[in-house]
Chains A and B, each alone.
Chain A
């Protein structure tokens, strides 16, 4: 290539780049996995000094999975991969195309803000942000395929029906509308019937209400392999957001054979494990773990008192038939000399006896989560984006978000970004809301009477055995007061409104009719099915609940990217904020160093410390050649620092000549290293 051609080529490349860079912001059209890959490449090449594209693996179906690293590298600054970082994950389910767009928009906001927005510049200079906008490309492709069939599985070929053929009986687009909906067919054994108020919706017959089913309902499709079952072995795969190792469901095919069995989940978990500097995970998915804190999994019954296996009990001098607390067992173990000089801890005993994993958010972590929740709710209200919390989904079994909190050991916030708008039910004028309760005295509450209290309990979805009578007794005895009740009410998992009057999907249908020009629902139309005979094809269109129509996405993306950047600014950090040297005479110096977390988040979560994936802060004192330590240890450990400037000090007494220097450093993998040189003076 001659010089002229090279210049021209360079210009052309620049032009192409700028076009791409301009085309990045969400245009109302969801990007295909290939377009997402292109967008990421162009973002990286448009911002070469602060953006780096890191391929982390390939999906089962062969699509590349990439992480965009956003961090400024400057002299004297720690390497981007060893300083405090946030990880932004999106679309692990594949149906959450909105999340992918939000993650790209967030990347752009940071990249474009660098140099122009002071706070963003500071953030990118000192912290690292990793963005993975598309973690399940295989499932995401389904949105762009025809027919469109909504699912969250990767492309791993699985023989679901164990007939030695793979993916041979998936759904089929019978009415050729490009959408996989449903089939209903009259059948004497049918369990379904049309909803009396909205006959387009199907509901399960309730024999207690005198209802008898008349239809069977299937996914739209043929009996492709002649085994009598419909659509039982569709293309793919494993549902990636069930393939993570916290509370994983074994023996469920769609969850995978074992945790992290999939190329995609392995790439993600491997990336996290190799980037121990990640201190916060933000996740765009159908879950909203800020508003819904419900967890999966069952706490171990009687985990605090356990039996000791006979052989070990004999050894320790305990009774095999009796239950002991961990402490009692630890004491017995240490007294037996079993450790051979090593101290036996409760942790070791718990492990030895198989006491299981945590399944609830640690109480010590709640204040941080509650503070984020409060901010989020207020910000949503202000942006007029709040929607009924009782529709938000918490984490599922084996989910990515639960893995991040319980095992990876960092704070994690999943946001769903959007839900089908539901008309807010104006609470009846005399209905008891949490706000009203809070202002009441116990006497005022009791004065309401049993009927009103019962109505409130029903509205709140209290368990049926929890009656007004009981509550009144509790208030009378002082066990509970209205203020406490209000708090409980707010923390209680929000249930969908009690069924009865309206089909739970009625509001979705109303919205689809009103906002989507009826495109959200395929009306039941007759079809002659080769094996089922006369059937009707119809039902909700795929992606109705996860992908908002154009026009509804922009506002929530703008809001959530700002909110997330706000959270990233709160990342913890590690500084040596102050050192003091005090001469004690005769070449003896008292040395004090103060270690501070300048961020808002604590340096680690309580669960991270329990899971041992949040490391303590290791403080090292490196003495000069002619110095000696008089008291204190050359390596000290600070378990953690709370947020907002929490400080802890470490003291040493050092023998050394005046004017000589030594180095104090503090390091922890999640926050990097800080160090300072101190002169004895």
Chain B
């Protein structure tokens, strides 16, 4: 009996011990999410609630605001509180689906959350990340258009906007002439009409493909644009669809009005979705790294979005480069590039706001490449031009290739291709409707969704791991005389991100790091930063009530060395408190 009690005690002890060491092991209810389909808002809500319920000690779900149509914008916060409160750890932020049609970012964000929770206590990386960092994840910023895209009639490219009515054609009425699903197949495709003077003809090898005729050649068809009719009788077709603005041009840094930056809205943060994200990110100033998912083209983007900002400082650029170039290896065929230089100009994009106004290192991945598999051309010496042409093709999806039809017919088995079929149009008369359906471009085919999720989540986790990781490397006490002590401190940073971005130091975006000294009988008399340890040179730092401010923080892959002159005796506690680099504590004894 006694032995039994002992045994039971041991068992309980072992369980407690196991839980303390490895809490993930003892989660009773296994959550299994699949990444072979897209989650609409109801499904996403359920998945997030299930995760929160299964991992109550690690995950907190909150609604950060309502979309225009009243849907909750969810944020899930991950942190292991046993290792400290979330705000004392460097934070990593992810959002997805700011553009309503760019839906797979939501699955990637959800997958990153799922992966971390599921593997906490299982893999060293997931455990370390949830112990040392906090995660703030908004899987969809634009639930209204997400649901529209998934559940209603749409085409691959819309609705990109949110769903606040917008008068695109400036006739005083909003959203009155959207495309129409004339053939009732659930997708908006294209219209063509037989015309002896047309500019297009069927491809000789596949009559479903329209090709432009050569100069002097006669065509057989004219293309009439997207499927639809002139709903408002103004002579234009499909000129004022749902919404019509761009939330990723509505952020409050380097914002420009609509006539300079199409879609910007009347002023920054004028929509409920952008406001919710602004407030959420600003409420968590410990966020140091971020990712905002888009599609598509296989790119790891960094700012600045526009030339007028000038490039980032060399110090911050080297942080971006270090993480971004590693990203190219994690994500085959993705290219790490700069928006304004390599792509186009974006004013008022979220990543410029996060970096240039809040000091957060932010990437934006353009998820997925042209889904049509084709042999990668061998780059021979001197064929840069050809490679660039290829890249341009990958970026700007062009319909009308034979390979594409093979892909549609034999890989997707016809699911995302709508064959040309005759239709009677009120204006154009006898026409044909057909083309690629909404899930046939821009989003990955479902059999590849899991890979998109895993690799891009892996890139996020890598970046999260590369946020500042501060440790007290040294705290040496030397007695000077009487009750005066010299305390030499080194705070190391084993990751590439500095505890304060150089843009923050330059523009004073937020408070500096500080070192606090506490103890019953201790007084900070003077302090300096050791700038040459061989010559024993220090640069004086003003102190104030046992606090000293470290204006430029701890550099990435580097250390900060301080020398304190402390009066007093007994135990003293040192706290290095960095807004974005986390908080670390060290005790010393003055003797």
Contact = CB atoms under 8 A, between A and B. Distances in A.
B334 interface: no
A407 B172 CA distance: 18
B535 interface: no
B511 A353 contact: no
A645 B14 CA distance: 92
Interface string A159-190: 10011100000000000000000000000000
A251 interface: yes
A163 B253 CA distance: 24
A170 to B, nearest CB: 18
A30 B251 CA distance: 40
Contacts of B508: 162, 251, 253
Contact of B255 (A164, A258, A354, A406): A258
Interface in A213-237: 226-228
Contacts of B343: 309, 311
B171 A635 contact: yes
Contact of B345 (A310, A353, A634, A637): A353
B388 A310 contact: yes
A245 B255 contact: yes
B252 A258 contact: yes
Nearest to B395: A311
Given A309-B343, A341-B224, A633 B544 contact: no
B257 A312 contact: no
A73 interface: no
B341 interface: yes
A162 B512 contact: yes
Contacts of A350: 260
Nearest to B261: A351
A610 B347 contact: no
Contact of A354 (B253, B267, B306, B507): B306
Interface string A628-652: 0000011101000000000000000
B571 to A, nearest CB: 25
B254 A250 contact: yes
Contact of B542 (A228, A337, A635): A228
Contacts of A266: 267
A342 interface: yes
Contact of B260 (A251, A260, A273, A351): A351
B353 interface: yes
A90 B268 CA distance: 24
B391 interface: yes
A598 B111 CA distance: 63
Nearest to A159: B511
B140 to A, nearest CB: 24
A202 to B, nearest CB: 28
Contact of A311 (B267, B306, B342, B545): B342
B391 A269 contact: no
A635 B234 contact: yes
Nearest to B267: A260
Contacts of B396: 315, 338
Interface in B248-298: 251-262, 266-270
B476 interface: no
Interface string A328-346: 0000000001101110000
A675 interface: no
B198 to A, nearest CB: 12
A307 B543 CA distance: 52
A357 B224 contact: no
Contacts of A245: 255, 257, 267-268
A314 interface: yes
Contacts of A269: 266-267
Contacts of B251: 258
A625 B508 CA distance: 68
A241 to B, nearest CB: 16
The range of chain B's interface size is: 35 or more
A341 B223 contact: yes
B339 to A, nearest CB: 10
B256 A357 contact: yes
Contact of B235 (A251, A611, A635): A635
Nearest to B224: A341
Interface stretch (A8-16, A522-530, A612-620): A612-620
B308 interface: yes
B170 interface: yes
Contacts of B347: 354
Contacts of B509: 251
Nearest to A256: B252
Contacts of B425: none
A612 B258 contact: yes
A143 to B, nearest CB: 29
B85 interface: no
Contacts of A406: 257
B163 to A, nearest CB: 18
Nearest to A316: B392
Nearest to B346: A354
A596 B347 CA distance: 39
Contacts of A259: 252, 255, 267-268
Interface in B424-468: none
A167 B181 CA distance: 59
A341 B512 contact: no
B212 interface: yes
A340 B222 CA distance: 11
**B172, B212, B308, most chain A CB atoms within 10 A:** B172
Residue in B234, B251, B347, B385 with the greatest tally of chain A CB atoms within 10 Å: B234
Given A162-B510, A311-B392, A311-B395, A407 B257 contact: yes
Contacts of A59: none
B345 A337 contact: no
A356 B171 contact: no
Interface in A123-170: 159, 162-164
Contacts of A315: 392, 396
Contacts of A348: 262
Nearest to A246: B257
A559 to B, nearest CB: 34
A635 B170 contact: no
Interface in A69-84: none
Interface in B389-407: 389, 391-392, 395-396
Nearest to B508: A162
Contacts of B388: 310-311, 314
A226 B255 contact: no
A226 to B, nearest CB: 6
Contacts of B512: 162
Contact of A611 (B225, B259, B269, B391): B259
Interface in A326-378: 337-338, 340-342, 347-348, 350-357
Contact of B353 (A258, A338, A635): A258
Given A273-B266, A311-B392, A351-B262, A251 B234 contact: no
A251 B257 contact: no
Contacts of A312: 344, 392
A668 interface: yes
A577 interface: no
A261 interface: yes
Contacts of A340: 223, 225
Nearest to B547: A163
A618 B308 CA distance: 37
A667 interface: yes
14 contacts: A162-B510, A162-B512, A258-B252, A258-B357, A259-B252, A259-B255, A259-B267, A311-B343, A311-B391, A311-B392, A314-B385, A351-B260, A354-B344, A635-B234
Given A163-B511, A258-B353, A342-B225, 14 more contacts: A245-B267, A245-B268, A257-B252, A273-B266, A312-B392, A314-B385, A314-B392, A338-B396, A357-B256, A612-B259, A615-B170, A615-B172, A633-B235, A634-B235
Interface of B: 170-172, 212, 223-225, 232-235, 251-262, 266-270, 306-308, 340-347, 353, 356-357, 385, 388-389, 391-392, 395-396, 507-512, 542, 544-545, 549
The 4 A-B pairs at the shortest CB distance, nearest first, are namely A258-B252, A354-B345, A635-B234, A162-B511
